[in-house]
Amino acid sequence: MNFKNFRRILTVCLLLLLLSCKVSKTEKTASEEYVDKVYPLLDTENSRWFYFSSASRPFGMVNLSPDTQIDGAWGSGYRYNTDTVKGFSHIHAWQMAGLSMMPVIAKADDDKIFTDFYSKFDHKTEEIHPGYHKLFLDRYQIETELTSTTRVGFHKYNYQNSNSQALLFNLNTTLGPCDNAEGSLVLDSEKVVSGSFKMTPTSRRPKALITYFKVHFNKPVASIKKDNNTGNYLVTFEEDAGELMAKVGISYTSPENANLNIQSELNHWNFDKVVKESRDQWNKLLGRIRVEGGDKKQQNRFYTDLWHALQGRRIISDCNGDYPDNTGDNFRIGKLPLDKTGSPLFNHYNSDSFWGAQWTINTLWGLVYPGIMKEFIMSLLQYYKDGGYIPRGPSGGNYTHVMTGASSTPFIVSAIQRGLISEDLDKIYQALKLNHMPGGIMAKAGYEHETSIGGGLDYYLDKGYVPYPLLVPEDEYGIHKDGSSMTLEYAYQDYTLAQLAKKLEKLEDYTYFTKRSKNYKNVFNKNVGWMSPRKVDGSYSDNFDPYQYENGFVEANAAQATWFVPHDLKGLSLLMGGKKQAISKLNNQFIEAEKLGFTSGTSHDAELHPEYSRIPINYGNQPSIETAFVFTKLGNPELTQYWSRKIVNTVFSDLSPSRGYNGDEDQGLMGSLAVLMKLGLFQMNGGTEEDPAYQIGSPIFDKITIDLNSDFYEGKELSIISNNNSEKNIYIESAEFNNRKLDSLEIKHSDLIKGGEIRLHMTNSRHKK
């Protein structure tokens, strides 16, 4: 071979090699989009109504997905082990459900279809990723595809073997937490129908809510038939060939706004375009945190956790700012404040409680998604303007009084201390203070709507603790009247309010609420060494058992709840005889809890099981999820590093329908906790003190990069680098922040938001000081 030919062949080979590298890199990038790492089926064998999400946008008003179980808030919605689709419904929210549609093969004279329309499906034909759900209805041989905008569901149905295309509107049925009733549907024009239905009240959401909807089809309607027995409607179509598509807008204020939501968000019929837009939106949010290292399963689970942290709580306002206000005696349509362009300044939300948010979304949203945190606070303050006080969990535009205490206080104070909220602080303080005083929400037990007795606040103010038993009827004055738990919760929340009083130089209030924050001491029984149920007469319960579930403690036992003193762990340790004794006590609890996998079974209802309920530490529910980081605050961060890694590996590492959160994933709380533990960042006080501190744990990834929001923070990004990180190298030998050695494993918020690099040097043995 001559030299010229050799050079020519070599050049061609190099070009081919470069081209293959370029294609390989492109293919790798495409296959590693964050949305592809999400596993939507996680824990779906244990779904509750608002848990599962597929064809939805972040916090979307529309949460479109298939329902395989429809009766009851628990064990309903999309349940992986049920192989029958019972409809595609649009609303899966806290105490809200509705607008179930089912594509069927039926003619106008088919009366049986109203009671017999379910269809089997197979997971093998199913495709799910954030913003998209596809499955095949075996009975009808229909390929179904679902996606959505924020307020509009988008359906595409391919009827493969039919000349009788039809849609069943199941408007009068039980769906999850409530019944749908008084459903109606009318033909507006040849391709448009509209209707409404009532979400009936529940024990948690005490008022009914009307939902309006508008549906645009891509082909003319042939007929609409109402069944007198069920009250439901069958819509048939003139054209049986080709795909049937439907755009479904909803509104809680009017049919006109339902239509406006369609016109504003979905003015075309390009299904794939909407899928891509949804994918891009999720990618953008998930990509705020980029992780390197770990294996594929760890990365997939991480982004699944992060995905859960950005859903569950739902928008209830229309695109023009109209929203349902049910806080007064009569329903009214509220109007959110608008910007100069006529767009709402924020969205209004439906939400489960912020009970446990101090250790979860407070920190994650506050650092990574400050805009989301601010918007939720503006929504909470809108409830205050409408109804007179800040809710702890609103639904249907009204208060639900879910759980106990004033759990919104730490959430809002945390945002103020981070600088996310800076205007009208005095007014906000007064609104928060109202909840901590007689007549406020702290005085109400769980779901206590008409009275203010079950929360035991009068006892708390008079005696310094809430007694157990409270000796008031359970059904009349709410639930969760577990006095010792209430005392601990109120004391922490009083501390957080005191921090805001201090910031605003309200020194008298600061002194008052700081004194109240010490009330936790009044339910610590030194004779047994635990927080204990305490009677009205001041005596402690006989035959005390620290592992008896819900014996004076909300969704917990005494062993778990004893550590609920995040604002004064030093004071708690003194009650136990000192830090050494406290550390030993908690470490022994973790040793025992590990035998049961650190959770009370694999689902929330399993906590009541006699064996599971006696676990000393439970990472399947909120009351004791701070305990691994207690060691750091008591001066032994090595135990935090050891046990937090154990918990991540045991509780938050599965990728299967059967397990995931092993308990109570309340609208992103446990997903957020898992993210934070894997990042190695935590805030014991929930970010509520002046210039909040972050405690550093044991990150599971080699490098973590967090984008900082330039609208709120001066830094561009924050990196956490863990040198020599591995499954064995879980301990931090030394740490630096921006090349400055850290004397302790804490960093102030004011430093962190400037951006830079946390560098951790990991080892497999505990660092000897």
Q: Which of 291, 219, 258, 356 is CA-nearest to residue 667? A: 356
Q: Specify the pLDDT at position 13.
A: 44
Q: Band of the pLDDT at 30, cuts 50, 70, 90?
A: very low
The amino acid that residue 83 corresponds to is D
236 neighbors 221 (Cβ within 8 angstroms) = yes
Which helix (DSSP H) or strand (DSSP E) does residue 750 occupy? helix 749-752
Q: Is the pTM of this model over 0.85?
A: yes
Which helix (DSSP H) or strand (DSSP E) does residue 250 occupy? strand 244-251
Neighbours of 591 (CB within 10 A): 12
Q: Could you give the 3-state DSSP secondary structure of residue 44?
A: helix
Region 683-701 average pLDDT: 98
Query: What b/e string do you get for 137-176 counting C-beta neighbours within 10 Å, with b at 16 or more?
Result: beebebbbbbbbbbbbbbbbbebeebeebbbbbbbbbebb
Q: Specify the pLDDT at position 606.
A: 66
Delimit the CATH 2.70.98.10 region(s) of the chain: 34-286
- Residue reference for tokens 């010229």: 4
Residue % of the chain over a pLDDT of 90 = 89
Q: Could you give the 3-state DSSP secondary structure of residue 187?
A: strand
Separation CA 223–CA 350 (nearest Å): 36
Of 316-325, 535-544, 603-612, 620-629, the least confident: 603-612
Q: Could you give the 3-state DSSP secondary structure of residue 154?
A: strand
Q: Band of the pLDDT at 28, cuts 50, 70, 90?
A: very low
Asked if pLDDT for residue 769 goes beyond 80, the answer is no
The amino acid that residue 716 corresponds to is K
Architecture in CATH of 354-759: Up-down Bundle (1.20)
Q: Band of the pLDDT at 57, cuts 50, 70, 90?
A: very high
Q: Specify the pLDDT at position 145.
A: 98
Region 727-746 average pLDDT: 97
Q: Which of 315, 322, 350 is CA-nearest to residue 338? A: 322
* Average predicted confidence (pLDDT) for the chain: 94
Residue 756: left if φ>0, alpha if ψ -120 to 50, beta else—which one? left
Token code pair at residue 465: 């603790």
Provide the pairing of β-strand 703-707 with 693-696. Answer: unpaired
Token code pair at residue 209: 């809510």
Q: Specify the pLDDT at position 357.
A: 97
241's CB contacts (< 8 A; 6+ apart) are 163
Which sign does the torsion angle of CA 386, 497, 423, 692 carry?
Answer: negative
Q: Band of the pLDDT at 241, cuts 50, 70, 90?
A: confident
What CATH fold (topology level) applies to the domain 34-286?
A: Beta-galactosidase; Chain A, domain 5 (2.70.98)
104 neighbors 166 (Cβ within 8 angstroms) = yes
Separation CA 727–CA 715 (nearest Å): 31
Separation CA 109–CA 243 (nearest Å): 23
Which helix (DSSP H) or strand (DSSP E) does residue 632 occupy? helix 630-633
Ramachandran angles phi, psi of 185, nearest 5°? -150, 135
Q: Specify the pLDDT at position 31.
A: 52
Which helix (DSSP H) or strand (DSSP E) does residue 169 occupy? strand 165-170
- Where helices occur in 569-610 by DSSP H, the ranges are 569-575, 579-594
Q: Specify the pLDDT at position 163.
A: 80
Asked if pLDDT for residue 69 goes beyond 70, the answer is yes
User: pLDDT, tens digit, for every residue of 150-187?
Assistant: 999 999 999 988 789 999 999 999 999 999 999 999 99
Side-chain half-sphere exposure of 513, counting CA atoms within 13 A: 26
* Rg value, the chain, Cα: 27
DSSP letter assigned to residue 249: E
Delimit the CATH 1.20.1610.10 region(s) of the chain: 354-759
Region 678-704 average pLDDT: 98
Q: Specify the pLDDT at position 240.
A: 84
User: pLDDT, tens digit, for every residue of 250-288?
Assistant: 999 999 999 999 999 999 999 999 999 999 999 999 999
165 neighbors 142 (Cβ within 8 angstroms) = no
- Cis (ω within 30 of 0) for the bond into 177? no
- Cα–Cα distances (Å) from 518 to 283, 464, 515, 536, 575, in that order, read 45, 9, 6, 19, 12
Q: Band of the pLDDT at 16, cuts 50, 70, 90?
A: very low
- Cα–Cα distances (Å) from 531 to 28, 395, 575, in that order, read 54, 33, 10
Asked if pLDDT for residue 767 goes beyond 70, the answer is no
61 neighbors 55 (Cβ within 8 angstroms) = no
Separation CA 463–CA 267 (nearest Å): 62
Q: Band of the pLDDT at 675, cuts 50, 70, 90?
A: very high
3-state SS, 509-531, equals HHHHHHHHHHHHHHHEECCCCEE
- Residue reference for tokens 């592992």: 547
Q: Specify the pLDDT at position 663.
A: 72
User: pLDDT, tens digit, for every residue of 627-672?
Assistant: 999 999 999 999 999 999 999 999 999 999 999 998 778 899 999 9
Separation CA 715–CA 702 (nearest Å): 21
**For the chain, how far is it from start to end, CA to CA, in angstroms?**
69
Asked if pLDDT for residue 249 goes beyond 60, the answer is yes
**Burial of residue 25, with CB atoms counted within 10 A of its CB: 0-12 exposed, 13-18 middle, 19 or more buried:** exposed
Dump strand ranges (E) for 562-697: 681-682, 693-696
The amino acid that residue 2 corresponds to is N
